[in-house]
């Protein structure tokens, strides 16, 4: 581009003619780095990072697909009930459309109060699935509004109108029709009613279900479903005005409301007075409890041999504690599970074997020398080698062929161990889940954590549970045994030998007890049913009395002998198959135990992070010039770091003058300034401005605040290192 000399107009013309715009070519500048390269751990020597990443990706896709199917199945009953309610409400509208305004009852707006629970972070996913279901089964006109977008009625109607227009455009594009609908209308219910009449007369959409068959047929006037995601956050006046206006136009604008409620349905009466709530025909719908949802997710992902990846007790406690004490979010729990899976494949070189058993055996055959050494370094494998004869020890430590064969055998044993482990765990849970006071917990995840931590048969709670099992009635025992048979039959891989047949034999013996045994059992069972309603003191007292009476009795009944045999059989199964995973060789391959890593990522500690960044900037910046001894202030550190470390040396009140002078001393040492130079005055002003900015940033972060005690001082808000 050249610019010549001349008049202003000519220069402007030549300048305009010589300017061109060149869009940057991002494709050339983009540096593509393979994702698997991120799996090259700095401290680990592994040549299979790509294979580990691919294994992680495939395993997570399987787990993700399982969770999506599970969530869809859990929401299916709730969504079916909602669809049935909406169809029924709309059929009433069509039936009485001519004399809609003549009946006061028909002025009521059909309203579904959807109780979703306090897991607010999961609500968006639920509403997204609900919107898709309603559009497939009920009506194309489904609108979702949030409180932050509706500060008043005008904005409420604006959002409602714009989203309805979008729904109309989408339905027209799918059907191939082009109906000109004005995009800009007056934001009022009258304009919406006229727009609705125009659209339904011209388009007449046919509602056909993609996933489920409905009996609604072809609707000439589909309803408008309005979803209020967080009803508690909406302004009371906005809701009242909108409901009153909508009820007046309901005969020409068929509206159906869905309230998303996180707390309790009582909020409807609190937000709306009786004069307004009487205009709603409310029906309650309850979603699945968060804890029940968590139990189902754990059951499908962790308490199964379908997926080889497992979590240790401490890591599982971190995830469940975040769920139970912070957000009750299933989505966040699944993200934490994904993080655990990612960290396991990143930090464990032998996680390449965390896959299906046939594939793992194939990969062992191609192990290199370094990978064989990684197997020998595993603590569980070392303990296993120490228990072997001396000849086999030498072979495992020197021969790679023997090591690979033994590794394949150990992985197969670990797979069989998991199958047996979870089957016996479910059977034990069926026995102890109905006991008084729940000595081993009510949920299966509580029992699972106990079994992961220690040998469960050494605990006092287990001994107490066995005592209570020896006092169950016949009908309760038969019901539990029937559940155990169902659990064992549900497994495609039977590894427990003749356990199923033994349980069936016990069940048959209970059914064949004679009348005398039945009378004795009924007497014993009646005592237990009374025990379940008493407190712990009377329960322990009754246990002692029963033990004493049993000691004095000369002969047990047939039922008591059979019940004792059942309890002893279950106890033997527990001792044989519920051994802690740490006792199994190669358990490190499939178990993630980095609880500390999960805490760092999931339990945020902003104050500690701020203190670390300001006190030791090298921790984040990785600049060698920022390295310094403890207690020293590096003169090349950022201004806010210098000001922060200086303020740590002050008392509760900080003199700004002294603070500024100390700051200037450190900074001038960094700049290597000459005190007698001609630019010293100008530089002092710059340093003063830098100090003011650093102090303002510390005030913004909450470390200091102005004080009225002394005008030239600031008050320190923190005390100590962090």
Q: Give the whole-angstrom CA distance, residue 315 versus residue 593.
A: 6
User: What CATH number has the domain spanning 75-288?
Assistant: 3.40.50.300
**For residue 336, what pLDDT is reported?**
94
Q: Give the whole-angstrom CA distance, residue 443 versus residue 462.
A: 15
639 and 667 Cβ atoms separated by less than 8 Å = yes
160 and 257 Cβ atoms separated by less than 8 Å = no
**For residue 15, what pLDDT is reported?**
37
Of 442, 475, 473, 441, residue with least CA distance to 459: 441
**For residue 682, what pLDDT is reported?**
82
Q: Give the whole-angstrom CA distance, residue 616 versus residue 648.
A: 13
What count of other Cβ atoms lies within 10 Å of the Cβ of residue 574?
Answer: 21
Question: What dihedral do alpha carbons 176, 178, 183, 188 form, nearest 10°?
Answer: -90
**For residue 177, what pLDDT is reported?**
47
Domain boundaries, the chain: 75-288, 606-716
**For residue 2, what pLDDT is reported?**
39
Q: Give the whole-angstrom CA distance, residue 715 versus residue 708.
A: 9
Three-class secondary structure assignment of 650-695: CCCEEEHHHHHHHHHHHHHHHHCCCCCCCCHHHHHHHHHHHHHHHH
**For residue 416, what pLDDT is reported?**
93
Q: Give the whole-angstrom CA distance, residue 546 versus residue 714.
A: 73
**For residue 198, what pLDDT is reported?**
86
Tokens 């020896």 sit on residue: 470
Q: Give the whole-angstrom CA distance, residue 231 versus residue 147.
A: 7
**Residues of the chain under the 70 pLDDT cut:** 1-38, 40-47, 92-106, 168-187, 202-220, 493-495, 514-539, 549-555, 631, 670-679, 720-722
Angle in degrees, 0-180, between the axes of helices 474-490 and 400-432, rounded to the nearest 10? 150
Q: Give the whole-angstrom CA distance, residue 162 versus residue 155.
A: 10
What count of other Cβ atoms lies within 10 Å of the Cβ of residue 381?
Answer: 23
C-alpha pair distances (Å), 693 with each of 186, 688, 713: 50, 9, 16
Q: Are strands 653-655 and 713-716 parallel, antiparallel or unpaired?
A: antiparallel
């Amino acid at each position: 581009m050249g610019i010549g000399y001349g008049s202003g107009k000519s220069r402007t013309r030549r300048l305009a003619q010589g300017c061109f715009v060149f869009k940057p070519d991002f494709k050339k500048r983009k540096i593509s780095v393979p994702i698997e390269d991120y799996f090259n751990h700095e401290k680990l020597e592994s040549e299979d990072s790509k294979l580990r990443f691919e294994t992680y990706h495939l395993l997570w896709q399987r787990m993700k697909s399982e969770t999506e199917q599970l969530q869809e199945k859990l929401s299916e009953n709730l969504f079916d009930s909602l669809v049935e309610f909406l169809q029924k409400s709309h059929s009433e509208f069509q039936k009485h459309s001519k004399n809609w305004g003549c009946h006061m009852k028909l002025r009521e707006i059909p309203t579904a109060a959807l109780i979703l629970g306090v897991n607010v972070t999961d609500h968006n996913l639920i509403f997204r699935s609900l919107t898709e279901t309603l559009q497939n089964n009920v009506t194309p006109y489904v609108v979702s509004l949030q409180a932050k977008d509706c500060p008043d009625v005008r904005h409420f109607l604006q959002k409602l109108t714009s989203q309805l227009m979008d729904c109309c455009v989408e339905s027209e594009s799918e059907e191939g029709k082009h109906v000109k609908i004005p995009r800009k209308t007056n934001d009022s219910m009258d304009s919406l009613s006229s727009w609705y009449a125009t659209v339904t007369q011209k388009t007449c959409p046919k509602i056909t279900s993609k996933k489920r068959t409905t009996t609604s047929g072809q609707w000439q006037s589909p309803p408008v479903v309005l979803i209020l995601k967080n009803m508690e956050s909406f302004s009371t006046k906005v809701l009242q005005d909108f409901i009153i206006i909508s009820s007046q136009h309901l005969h020409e604008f068929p509206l159906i409301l869905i309230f998303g409620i996180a707390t309790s349905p009582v909020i409807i009466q609190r937000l709306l007075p009786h004069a307004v709530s009487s205009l709603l025909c409310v029906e309650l719908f309850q979603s699945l409890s968060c804890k029940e949802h968590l139990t189902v997710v754990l059951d499908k992902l962790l308490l199964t041999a379908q997926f080889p990846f497992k979590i240790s007790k401490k890591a599982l406690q971190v995830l469940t504690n975040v769920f139970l004490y912070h957000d009750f979010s299933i989505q966040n729990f699944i993200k934490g599970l994904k993080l655990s899976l990612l960290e396991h494949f990143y930090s464990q070189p032998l996680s390449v074997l965390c896959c299906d058993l046939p594939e793992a055996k194939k990969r062992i055959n191609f192990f290199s020398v370094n990978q064989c050494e990684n197997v020998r370094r595993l603590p569980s494998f070392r303990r296993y080698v120490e228990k072997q004869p001396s000849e086999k020890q030498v072979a495992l430590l020197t021969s790679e062929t023997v090591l690979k064969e033994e590794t394949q055998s150990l992985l197969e044993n670990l797979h069989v161990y998991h199958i047996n482990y979870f089957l016996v765990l479910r059977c034990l849970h069926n026995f102890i889940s109905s006991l008084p006071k729940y000595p081993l917990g009510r949920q299966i995840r509580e029992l699972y954590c106990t079994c992961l931590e220690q040998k469960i048969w050494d605990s006092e709670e287990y001994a107490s549970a066995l005592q209570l099992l020896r006092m169950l009635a016949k009908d309760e025992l038969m019901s539990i045994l029937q559940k155990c048979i169902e659990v064992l039959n549900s497994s495609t891989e039977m590894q427990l030998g003749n356990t199923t047949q033994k349980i069936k034999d016990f069940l048959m013996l209970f059914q064949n007890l004679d009348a005398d045994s039945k009378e004795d059992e009924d007497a014993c069972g009646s005592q237990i049913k009374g025990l379940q309603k008493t407190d712990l003191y009377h329960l322990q007292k009754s246990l002692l009395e029963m033990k004493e009476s049993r000691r004095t009795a000369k002969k047990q009944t047939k039922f008591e002998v059979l019940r004792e045999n059942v309890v002893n059989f279950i106890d033997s199964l527990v001792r044989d198959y519920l051994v802690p995973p740490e006792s199994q060789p190669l358990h490190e391959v499939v178990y993630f135990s980095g609880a500390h890593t999960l805490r760092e990522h999931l339990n945020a500690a902003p104050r500690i992070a701020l203190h670390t960044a300001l006190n030791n900037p090298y921790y984040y910046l990785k600049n060698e010039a920022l390295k310094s001894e403890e207690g020293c202030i590096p003169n090349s550190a950022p201004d806010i770091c210098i000001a922060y470390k200086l303020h740590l040396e002050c008392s509760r009140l900080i003199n700004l003058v002294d603070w500024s002078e100390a700051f200037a001393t450190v900074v001038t040492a960094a700049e290597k300034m000459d005190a007698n130079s001609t630019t010293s005055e100008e530089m002092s002003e710059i340093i003063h401005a830098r100090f003011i900015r650093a102090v303002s940033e510390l005030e913004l972060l909450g470390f200091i605040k102005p004080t009225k005690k002394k005008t030239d001082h600031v008050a320190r808000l923190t005390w100590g290192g962090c």
